[in-house]
Structure 1
Amino acid sequence: MKKFLKRLLIFTVLFFVVDKLFYIFIYLSPNYQVDNRIEKLLEGEINKEVIILGSSRGAMNIMANQLEAQTAKSAYNIAFPGSDVTFHDFILKTLLKFNKKPKIIIFALDSPSELLPTASINYRFDRLYPLVKYDYINQELINKGDRNFTSWFLCLSRLNKTNLSLKRNSTKFDNVQPDGSTPLDFENPNFKADYILSVGNYEIKDESDEKRKAFKSILDQCQSNNIKLIFAFSPNFQIYNIAFEKRMRQFKTPNSSFFVYDSLNSSYKDASNFYDESHLNAKGAKIFTSELSNYINLNQ
């Protein structure tokens, strides 16, 4: 029995020693991110008057540096392509926890899928994995069921296979500018320039309870922190979805307002201003951002 216990003790000590050697991957992972905006949030470096929140329609359609120039308000874009409202909720909580609160949040809405279950937008775990050295991120992964309590004392439990690859796996879509925006300054050869003249029905019963809860959380955070919240509706290469807007307006709070692009502007029916059916290219983003900036200037 003593021999067994001795071997067990030796094995345990060796295991923990070897486990701690893997900390080097945890420590180095942030250096190989293709997008370090979340780390900037964690380090308290995003202290701007205007913050852009959302997924790709926020990241690609709204140029923070242009908005800053046209409104004379400091601005930064923390919208993440492919992310859903549950991730936006986490990003806003992180912003408010570690940084000075902004005066304005521009929430770029995904029409019509903001609250609907869809595979195209989700919780961006991949943006958190490189940052597992931060206890705050580790706890968030535990909260989401992606990690368990052993990650508090075992390096191997914190690691994801992506942490073991110390190289940047960036694509042309990871073109994060100093202002946080990711403009689409290249063409999409698969885009068919046929303006869509119809929209589907919007059914409240199809909404995700989890997404609706996260959406309301964003509104509550802005309300409790006295932050102006602007819901921004950017153009699709399609007739405007008024049913979606009506649904979003049902969530209005005293500090919120709604900015809808000018659907009569012929620029939004010009395929040369779009990357695809759902996103403006860099040229179209300048037009939309200018319109949004004018709205802010007129509603200060």
Structure 2
Amino acid sequence: MFYFFLHHAPTLEYDTRLEQILEGKMNKEVLILGSSRGANNILAGQIESKTRHSTYNLSYPGSDVRFHYFVLKSVLKYNKKPKMVVLTIDNPHEFVNEKTLNFRFDRLYPLAKYNYITQELIRQKEKNVLSWVFCLARLNRSHFSVSKVAIPLDGKIDAWGSMPFYNRKASFIGKKNSVQLYNSALENTEKITAFKALQQLCLKNKIQLVYVFPPSHGAFDKQFYKRFLKMVPAHDVMVYDTLNTIYQKEASFHDESHLQQKAAQVFTNEISTFIQNKNYLK
């Protein structure tokens, strides 16, 4: 019975992207990594259309850079390497502890039938070593559900892995918050380590890594940006067009950090143009 629950769990999932990676079905030329700011604000299908290179969005709402590194590492283990990775940067929360950005263990639990996933859960002390031997030890509460995970009403996953907000009438009322002085002493060393490991993974596999700063209705943290530029090649950093008035309109935003579809199309076009102008995908 326990074996049934373990192997049945993946069939109930709405988001099957991680399982596609494990099954070797994620052979794309361009991959987008990030949190919800990558998932909602970057339209992979549009990049694919403009660059003529297969593109897929592997951004997960609520995920941090440690999870982004895990996703890329998993892609390279089971699939052909991409030519390019577009990494969405959460300004200013990329390296600090932020309650809305974490390692998405909930995406791993339903896939515990895969030894690779169980190994990762053990490594991160989410499961004990008994999980390697006993089927029961791999199960958690989510495995005992027999109902399919509900499809979200907003931000559905499209054919390219993106989750656009389809321009419903927004109730968002923007407020420009003042920027607090960025304090690098508060940075989480695990997140810094994961970020550097992701960079090295791309370097080792000759993958072009592009860093993207998406729009926000809040103030742009220039202190974090200056700190970030010390860690990366500046010519590989793309910041949204701060002079474009579309990003100043409340109607362009689903909430402070996420764009409605029409504004996401504008931002995605900026990314595509940046990629083409740099001739990254020659």
Q: TM-score normalised by the shorter chain: which range applies?
A: over 0.9
Quote the residue 2:12 is aligned against: 32
Quote the residue 1:207 is aligned against: 187
Aligned AA (1:52): I
**Where do 5+ consecutive residues of structure 1 fail to align?**
1-20
1:258 to 2:237 alignment:
yes
Counterpart CA distance in 2 for 1:28 and 1:177 is 24
Matches within 5 A, 1:36-185: 36-170=16-150, 171-173=152-154, 175-185=156-166
Contact 1:219-1:253 within 8 A present in 2 as well: no
Deviation at 1:71, TM superposition (A): 1.1
Superposition TM-score, scaled by structure 1 size: 0.89
**Where do 5+ consecutive residues of structure 2 fail to align?**
none
Q: Deviations over 1:50-108 (max 9, x none)?
A: 10001111111000000111111110000100011111111010011111111110000
Larger mean Cα displacement after TM superposition, 232-241 or 108-117: 232-241
Counterpart CA distance in 1 for 2:168 and 2:130 is 46
Counterpart CA distance in 2 for 1:262 and 1:242 is 15
Alignment root-mean-square deviation, CA: 1.5
Counterpart CA distance in 2 for 1:251 and 1:172 is 38
Counterpart CA distance in 2 for 1:91 and 1:281 is 26
Quote the residue 1:6 is aligned against: none
Deviation at 1:174, TM superposition (A): 5.8
1:243 to 2:223 alignment:
yes
Counterpart CA distance in 2 for 1:289 and 1:189 is 21
Larger mean Cα displacement after TM superposition, 102-111 or 179-188: 179-188
- SS of 1:286's equivalent? helix
Counterpart CA distance in 2 for 1:85 and 1:166 is 32
1:198 to 2:144 alignment:
no
| Number of corresponding residues | 278
Counterpart CA distance in 2 for 1:253 and 1:240 is 20
Higher-Rg member (1/2): 1
Contact 2:155-2:166 within 8 A present in 1 as well: no
Provide closer, same or farther for how the CA distance between residues 174 and 138 of structure 1 changes in structure 2, counting only shifts above 3 A.
farther
Deviation at 1:234, TM superposition (A): 0.4
